[in-house]
Structure 1
Amino acid sequence: MTADTTPAGGSRALLRQRRRRSVVRFVRRYRTRRAGLAGLAALVLFALVALTAPLTVGSGVTGVTDAPGSPLQAPSGAFPLGTDRFGRDLLGLVVWGSRVSLLVGLLAAVLSVVIGAVVGITAGHFRGAYATVLMRITDWFLVMPALVLAVALATVMSRSLGTVILAIGITSWPTTARLVRAQTLAVESRPYIERARALGGGHWHVMTRHVLPNVLPLILAQTTLMISSSILAEATLAFLGLGDPTVVSWGGLLQDAREAGAVSAGDWWYLIPPGLAIAAVALAFTLCGRAVESVLDPRLEVAR
C-alpha cells in the first residue's frame, strides 16, 4: 500500500514545493526592481486610502445639500484642496473618488484580460476556420479606436458603472488576445504537448493543464498594464459626461470642473488634484506591470 500511495503523495508535495520556490524566486527578483517597488508602494497607499475612505471622510462628503463650504473656495486651513462648485471639500471628494476609479479600472481590466485570454488560447489551440474568424474579429477591434467604440457603447446604454466597465472591457481585449495566441502557439509546438495528446489528453486537458499555466505569467503582466489604461479610459468617459452621474470619480471631478468653468476662471485647485491622482495611479500600475514583465521574462531586461 505504501508503494501505491507514496508516489502520488510525493508528486503532489514536489509540485507544491516547486510552486513555493517559484513564488519565492519571483519575490526576490521583484525586490531588485526599484521602479517596481516604488509603484507597488504607491498602489498600496492608494488602496489604503480607498479602503479607509468611509472612515476618514465618510460617505456624506458627496452630498450637495449640506455642503460645508462656499462654492469654489480656494485652499485654506479648513479645506486644504479648496471646494468644488457645490461647496464640497475637494480633499474628501478626491479620497472618495479613488474607490470608484480603482474599482472600475480593476474590473474593466479583468474583464478585458479574461476575454483576450479565452480568445487567444482557443484561437491558438483549435486553429483552422475557427481561429481565422476570431482573428479577423480581433483585427477589426484593433483597427477601430477603442475610445470611439467605448463612447458609442456608453452612449447607447444606461449611464452606470456597469456600463462603463462593460464598455472598456469589451473594447480593449484585442491586444491581449494577440499576445496570448502567439504564446499559445509557441507552447503547443513543444514535445510534451504531443505526448499529452498521445496519452489521451483532450482539448480541455491540454488547454487548462498545459497551455494556461504557461501563459499565466503573460496574462498577469498584461493585467497590471491594462488596469492603468482602464483607469484612464474611465476618467475619459467620465470627463465626456458618459459616466455614472450618481457617483464621484476622479474623471467625474474633472468633468464637473470643466462645466464650472474652472479652466477659464483659473480655479487650479479644482483641476490639479484629481488629474494628479489619475496620473499617479496610472504610473504606479505601469511601473508594476513593467517590473512583472521583466521578472517573468528576463530577456526583456537584457534587451534594455
Structure 2
Amino acid sequence: MSAAEITPVGTQGAAPEHLGGRGSWFKKLPVVHQVRQSVGLQRGMLIAGIVLVAVFVLVAVFAPLIAPYGWSQLRSLDGAFGAQQAPSAEHWFGTTVGGYDVLSRVVWGARTALLVVIVAVVSSIVVGVLLGLVSGYFGGWLDRLLVVVADAIYAFPSLLLAILLAIVISGGQSNMWGGIFAAALSITVVFIPQYFRVVRSEVVRIKGEAFVDSARVLGTGHWRIMTRHVLRNSTRTLPLIVTLNASEAILTLAGLGFLGFGIEPTAAAEWGYDLQRAIADVTSGIWWTSMFPGLAIVFTAMGVTLMGESLNDLADPRLRMRARSSKVSGDVAATSVEKGDVA
C-alpha cells in the first residue's frame, strides 16, 4: 500500500480550513449563524419564532394577493356579504357584525401592524440613539436633564401614555396613513427612553477607553469620534431590543384599537378594533369574529418574543458557553465507551 493511499480516518472529503468549505457564506448569515449556535430547547424556540415572524411578514407584504376582499369591502358581485355569517366556502373565516370578511380583515391587519412596527421602531431608534449619544458623550447639565426626562417617561404607564399621545397626535385623522402614523408615533415616545438609556450607558463606558483618548490626542473632532468610534461600539445590543420592542408595539397597537383609540375601520384593518367589536358576539355563540383576530395577535407577538428572547440568550456569553459545554460533554460521554467494554 502506497503512502498516497493512506488517508486518516474522518478526513475523507473534508475541505481545507482556509477554503471555508462549501456553503460557508450561508452559515455566516445573521439568522443562520444564530440557529447553528443554539442548541436544544433554545434552538426550537428560535426556529419557532423565526417561522412565526416570517409568516407574519409574508402575509403583510403579500396582503393584496392573499386577501380575497378589501379591508372595508361589504359586498361582491353576488351581493352584500351579510353580518355574522358562519365560516363557509365563500368566507373561510366568516363575516363580522359589520358585514366585513374576517379573513380579509385579518390579512390586511397584518400589513397595518407591520407598518406601525416599522415606523415606531425606526423613529424611536433614530431619536433615542441620537439623544443617548449626545447625552453620554458630552455629559453636564444636558445629560442630567435628559436622564430625568427619560426616567419620568419610562416610569409612566406605557399604554396610558400611548392613549394620551394617540388622542393628541391623531387630531381627528381618519385616513389610513394618518391613523398609522398617529399610532406609531404614540408608541415611539414610549420606546425612546429604552434606547436612550442603553446607548447612553454604553457611550459613558466607551468614551473612557484608550482608543477614544488616542483619537482626541490626534486632534480628531468630536463628531468624528462620536460616529466612527463611540457609536459603532455602543449599538451592538440594539437588535435584541428591537425584537422585544416589536412585540410590545404589536400589543400596544392592539390595546389602542381595543380601547377605541386606534385606526378607524374604514381607513385600515386593525386586529384590536375587530376584537373589541366581537366581544358581544361571544355571548351569542358567534366565535369566529373574535377567535381569528385574537389568534393573529397572540401568534405574532409570541413569534417576535420567542425570537427576541432566544437572541438575547445567545448574546449572553455565560449562557452560550454553558450550552456549548453541555453539548460537548454529551458528545464525549456518548463516545467514551467502546464496543466490548463491560461495566
- TM-score class, shorter-chain normalisation, is 0.7 to 0.9
Which of 267, 273, 288 aligns to 1:252? It is: 273
CA displacement, residues 151-208 of structure 1 (integer Å, 9 cap, x when unaligned): 1111233242111111110122212211221122222222111111111122211211
Indicate conservation of the 8 Å contact 1:238/1:244, yes or no.
yes
The two structures, once aligned, show a CA RMSD in angstroms of 2.3
CA distance in 1 between counterparts of 2:230 and 2:221 reads: 12
Does residue 287 (structure 1) correspond to residue 306 (structure 2)? The answer is yes
For residue 265 of structure 1, give the secondary structure of its aligned residue in structure 2: coil
- CA drift at 1:37: 2.3
Q: Is the 8 A contact 2:69 2:101 kept in 1?
A: no
1:184 aligns with 2:184: no
Match of 1:51 in 2: 61
Between the aligned partners of 1:279 and 1:300, the Cα distance in structure 2 is: 28
**Per-residue deviation at 1:119?**
1.9
- Check whether the contact 1:293–1:300 (CA below 8 A) recurs between aligned residues: no
Q: What is the CA distance between 1:129 and its match in structure 2?
A: 0.9
Compared CA separation, residues 298 and 162, structure 1 to 2 (3 A): same
State the structure with more CA Rg.
2
| TM-score of the two chains, using structure 2 as the length reference | 0.75
Inter-partner Cα distance in structure 2 for 1:119 and 1:241 = 32
Matches within 5 A, 1:13-162: 24=28, 26=30, 27-33=32-38, 34=43, 35-58=45-68, 60-64=70-74, 66=76, 68-156=80-168, 157-158=170-171, 159=173, 160-162=179-181
8 Å Cα contact 1:113-1:222 kept in structure 2: no
Q: Is the 8 A contact 1:106 1:230 kept in 2?
A: no
- Cα distance in 2 between the residues matched to 1:128 and 1:254: 48
Taking the aligned partners of 1:117 and 1:41, their CA distance within structure 2 comes to 30
Q: How many residues end up aligned between the 2 structures?
A: 282
Give 1:86 deviation, angstroms: 2.7
1:198-234 Cα offsets, whole Å, 9 max, x none, are 1112221121111221122211211111111111111
Tell me which protein shows more helix as a share of its residues: 1
Closer, same or farther: CA 233–298 of 1 in aligned 2, 3 Å:
same
Unaligned runs of 5+ in 2: 1-23, 174-178, 324-343
**1:112–1:173: 8 Å Cα contact kept in structure 2?**
yes
Q: What amino acid maps onto 1:104 in structure 2?
A: V
Question: Tell me, what secondary structure is at the counterpart of 1:79?
Answer: coil
